[in-house]
Amino acid sequence: MRKQITYFDPRVIERNPVGEMMTIIANNEEEMEAIETSIRNPERGITDISEWEDVPPTVDELQAELAETDYKIIKSSEYQLAGLEMPYDIAALHVAREALRERIRDAGE
């Protein structure tokens, strides 16, 4: 679960004398809480804080997710070649893997 939050920080004056919009990404609930505590501190003067939004997975993350199911394809092929009952629902596995491939293509564009 990766989420991002965007806010306006008037203290970022080294790059922009009037401040700038900032985005922070959190990888878990604990990081989200720490970030919330920091940016909602009234002394920082931060404004325009957005709601947490999902961060779309990267191509590398999607490819890793696809690779995690490779063993199921290999095992199913072995079972089929040995004349044994398939250990997984190959049709459902195929649909899920095709959906991941489509997401990888879309993310690469």
Q: What is the DSSP letter of 42?
A: G
Residues of the chain above pLDDT 90, percent? 43
| Helices 90-108, 59-67: inter-axial angle, 10-degree rounding | 160
Cβ of 62: how many Cβ atoms within 10 Å? 20
Higher pLDDT, 63 or 5: 63
d(CA 39, CA 21): 12
**62 token code pair:** 């999607």
- pLDDT tens, 5-42? 888 877 665 666 656 778 888 888 999 889 888 888 88
d(CA 53, CA 6): 9
pLDDT at 1 over 80: no
Mean pLDDT of the chain: 87
Higher pLDDT, 76 or 42: 76
The whole model's pTM is what?
0.61
Are residues 6 and 23 in contact, defined by beta-carbon separation less than 8 angstroms? yes
